[in-house]
Structures are given as C-alpha cells and as structure tokens.
Structure 1
Amino acid sequence: MNPDLPESEIRALIHPNTGTLSSMERTARGFSSDLTALVDSEKGPFFVKAVRNRPGGRRDSLIRERSINSAVWPLSPALRWHAEDDDWLVLGFEAVDGRSSDFTPDSTDLPAVVELVDCIGTLGLPEVARDWHETRWNRFALDESEAELFRGDALLHTDINPSNLLVGERGMWAVDWAWPTRGAGFIDPALLALQLVSAGHSPESAEECVSGCKAWVSANRRAIDAFAAANLRMYRAFAERKPDASWLKAMAVAAQSWVEHRAVPEA
C-alpha cells in the first residue's frame, strides 16, 4: 500500500457513491492494492480498494474481484459500488466487522474456517469465470500430466490465509477475491492444509482438519501429492528470489514437512 498516495483524488472520485466522507482509515490488509481503507461517510461505512488504472496484474485482479462478487456473496461482503476514471479504479464493499481468523492448533476458529472453505467449494462455476483457468502451479509440476491434475471446474479462491478469512460475531467472510480461478476443487482445501502446517499443525492434524471439506475427501491422492510437491518447488524458488522474505522461507519449511508426510517420492 502506497503511503504517498494522493487520497484527495480518490475522495473526489468516490464522492458520488459515498457523499461527504467523515473519515478514511487505511488498513493493513490489501498488499496488492495502492490503497485499502475503511471509510465512514454520509451514505454509510465502506471498505475501499483502489489501484492505479494502468494495464497489468493489479488492475486485472481488481476487475476480477468486481466481476466475481455477485457469485460469491454472501460468503464475501457485497460490492456496493465501483468508480473509475483515467487514473484510478476503486471498489466499495459493504463494511463488515471481523478480524483475521486464527489458524493455530488450539484455535476455536478452526471448525468455522473449514466450513467456510467447504462452502466456497459448493458455489459452482459462474459463467464469468469459465475462461479463468488455473495455471499458476503448472510450471512447478514435474510434467504436463501432473499439471493436468490441477485442472477442473470448481471456482477457486486461491489465496486462503488467516487475513482473508474474517471472523465476526455474526459469521465469517472470505475476502480479497483478487484472483479467483477455475480449477480442481481440492486446491483451496489443500492450500488451507498448507497454511495450517505453517501455523503450527502437524501435517496429520492439518489433513484431518481439511477432511471436513468434500472436495478434499473426493480428491485423487496423486493430485494432492503433485500439488504438495509443486508448492514446495514454488516456495523454494520464491524464497531464493527474495531471501529477506522470512514468510516465504517459513512456507517452504511447511511445504517440506507436508511433502515428507505424504511420502512424495521427489519434490
């Protein structure tokens, strides 16, 4: 998030949707956006995401998030409005009162987290996502036959982590649908399993947790093995590219533990 962002430009752009703003409080979430903020205004509170209106990944991700919202509500907060000019693209979501979920072994959030990921797997593939084929792990697969195991017709969130699964007094929400794709249904539960290992679970405990997801239970074991190994290769590569990013090293360690548990022959 850009600390030097000219907020006055965004305030002027969103004014027709918000009316007069009484506050704009930046949030820690939203690393792929130029600005994420909670705004209070005469038309209500909103969670706002803004990116520079330039061709490329960040703009594309916000357009996907805008396009998919009606298909993932009410698991995700509703998109109330969007605004765009030559400089900025902005989304305004319903403001929900929630905190990041706790993935640690003793967390009371875990049953609801698993239920939410399972519910994502039941959403069905909307027409807008039919051409959004999941390919990000393909280059880390051993060969094309393994990459083929990641294909499917499920709608995937693909960024399962504690910050994107919010816990509130009135329920849970999956937020930051920045890169939803079409792929094998086991992928989101598998990503949750890896996150649980990173949060301190044993691989056995993590897999026992995600066994509450139907897409995990019905998955091909070979597909999960290939995906676990692809994640290990991916995080190793990313950690080597960014040696100062400790979280990437931690994810590589978690992926190594998971691969060893599954006795994948070669990672």
Structure 2
Amino acid sequence: MTGLPDSHFEELIHPHTGAVGHVRTPARGFSSDFAAVVEGEKGRFFVKAMFNVPGGRKDSLLREQAINPFVQPLSPSLVWSAGGDEDGWIILGFEVIEGRASRFEKGSSDLSAVVETLDRIAGLGLPEAAKGWSEDRWDGFATSASEAALFRGNTLVHSDINPSNIIIGERGTWVVDWSWPTRGAAFIDPGCLVVQLIAAGHTPESAEGWASRCSAWTSADPRAIDAFALASLRMHRYFSGRDPHVPWLTAMAESAEAWVERRRRPDA
C-alpha cells in the first residue's frame, strides 16, 4: 500500500483498519517514524508509530499510550494499538479530530483558549501512571541540584507546548502529542508557552502577561521561574548550537534569551 512504511506494517494494522484506501500525511510535523491519517474499511484513524531499534524512541510512544486514558477529553482517544517489541513496529491508532494548529501570534483570538487549556492540563491531577515520570530534562541545564529541584512537583506536565500541539476545532480545543508527559512543577507548561509566544512575536512582557493568566504561574515562586528561564536558555542554546542552520532552533534560543533579559530587569 503506497504511503505505508512496509508490508509488515500493513499486516499489523489490518485487523484494526481493514484494507487501507488512503494515507494522508499532515502538514505539521511529528517526531514519530510514521504519522498519518489512515483511511480504511473500518474507518479513519490518526496513526503514529515508532520502529523499535536500539537507541530509538519507542519509550515516548509507550508513554503516550499509557497516559491517554487519563487525559480525556483533552486528548483524542486512543482507539487501538498494534505491534510490540517482537514485531519491530509499535503503532497507535487515535480517533481523527478536525481542527487546525493554534495561532500564538500577538492579537490571535486563540490565546485565551490556549491559556485555558494549560489550566485544564494542570487540573487533570497526577495519574498513577505518571508518578514515576519525574521531570528531569532541564536538570542538565540547571546550575545545581538545588536549582533543578525547583522543577519538581506533583502536576502532570505536557512539556511540549507549541502551536502544533494545541488544536483548535469546532468541538473545542485539543492537546495532542503526549510523547513526554512528566510529573513536575506546574509552572513548566506556562513557562514553555512564554518562550513560544516570544518566538511568535510577543514581547517578553506580553508573553508573561498571558502566562500569568494560568493559576500555576501566579502561585509559583519567582525564583523557580527565574531558574527555569535560565535553564531553558541553556537548553535552547545547546540544541541550536548542534544544528545552527535550523531556523526554529535559533528562534527558540533567541526567544529564551529575551525572556531571561526580562527576568533580570529590576522591574520584572
């Protein structure tokens, strides 16, 4: 079948999709080995898959599978799964939602819904499945263990807030790509939003103004936010330095730098 990775992949999904008639790859990117809307005899599904190889990213897909029941109705429902360690492919089939990527630009009518959605994520509670997923991705960019400890918490954190992962549809707002949900400080998702808003053209003051509409932001220790802003800057500089010709990585580093400069001002 044209559009599917290989015949074995087609065999694995056939019990769930039936004969596949059409495969449509979305315009927005995904970090999976395969991501597309698959239309078959049994319906339409958004299919994400990873090939299980040494050093691969299968854990992100397994984590998304585990968290899905607990993030309803914010996330599209996982309808079926296929494959496994012995099959090479690990495949998830989600319901198809109709919508578009949210717009983070200044003046966007989506921003209120985006902020409300972040509050809804923080209000989901910490499911049992996530209790062992302690947030540590910013640890290597903190200056000390005590600083990294400021990023710990008991809130379910999506940790990849960007326009493509918050979908605006007629039925409401959806949060997709739960590849790395963690247990962390509640201000992390609003903090990620700040960097994204600056990259979309907001001033740091405007970006923090939107973040301040999140209850997790207003209740956070400003010192913890300062530490997170600095760690985010170091992280984005690191990734930008590895791939200096990738424009969006450069934009993230520049946005994080503008945020840190804002946090350092006496009037911040």
Contact 1:225 1:264 survives alignment (8 Å): no
Counterpart Cα distance in 2 of 1:49 and 1:154: 26
1:77 equivalent in structure 2: 76
Shift of 1:43: 1.7
2:154 equivalent in structure 1: 153
**Which deviates more from structure 2 when the two are superposed, residues 153-162 or residues 209-218?**
209-218
The SS at the match of 2:57 is helix
Counterpart code for 1:225:
D
Contact 2:51 2:90 survives alignment (8 Å): yes
Are residue 224 (structure 1) and residue 225 (structure 2) matched? yes
1:106 equivalent in structure 2: 107
Deviation string for 1:230-264 (max 9, x for gaps)? Answer: 11111111111111112111111111111111117
Shift of 1:8: 3.0
**Structure 2 CA distance for partners of 1:32 and 1:201, relative to 1, 3 Å:** same
The SS at the match of 2:38 is strand
Counterpart code for 2:22:
S
1:47 equivalent in structure 2: 46
1:248 equivalent in structure 2: 249
The SS at the match of 2:93 is strand
Contact 2:4 2:23 survives alignment (8 Å): no
Structure 1 unaligned regions, length at least 5: none
Contact 1:155 1:182 survives alignment (8 Å): yes
1:65 equivalent in structure 2: 64
Contact 2:4 2:10 survives alignment (8 Å): no
1:136 equivalent in structure 2: 137
The SS at the match of 1:197 is helix
The SS at the match of 1:149 is helix
Deviation string for 1:182-204 (max 9, x for gaps)? Answer: 10000001101111011000111
**Which deviates more from structure 2 when the two are superposed, residues 84-93 or residues 175-184?**
84-93
Contact 2:3 2:23 survives alignment (8 Å): no
Counterpart Cα distance in 2 of 1:187 and 1:223: 10
Structure 2 unaligned regions, length at least 5: none
Contact 2:35 2:46 survives alignment (8 Å): yes
Counterpart code for 1:73:
Q
Counterpart Cα distance in 1 of 2:164 and 2:91: 21
Shift of 1:55: 4.5
2:203 equivalent in structure 1: 202
Are residue 184 (structure 1) and residue 182 (structure 2) matched? no
Shift of 1:5: 6.3
Contact 2:22 2:39 survives alignment (8 Å): yes
**Which deviates more from structure 2 when the two are superposed, residues 130-139 or residues 20-29?**
20-29
Deviation string for 1:85-118 (max 9, x for gaps)? Answer: 5121100001000111000001111100111111
The SS at the match of 2:48 is strand
Counterpart Cα distance in 2 of 1:29 and 1:130: 31
Shift of 1:4: 9.0
The SS at the match of 2:79 is strand
Contact 1:158 1:187 survives alignment (8 Å): yes
Counterpart Cα distance in 1 of 2:180 and 2:251: 23
The SS at the match of 2:91 is strand
Shift of 1:78: 0.3
Percent identity, aligned pairs only, is 58
2:16 equivalent in structure 1: 17
**Which deviates more from structure 2 when the two are superposed, residues 108-117 or residues 234-243?**
234-243
Counterpart Cα distance in 2 of 1:6 and 1:44: 19
1:115 equivalent in structure 2: 116
1:35 equivalent in structure 2: 34
Normalization by structure 1: what TM-score?
0.94
**Which deviates more from structure 2 when the two are superposed, residues 20-29 or residues 101-110?**
20-29
Contact 1:112 1:172 survives alignment (8 Å): yes
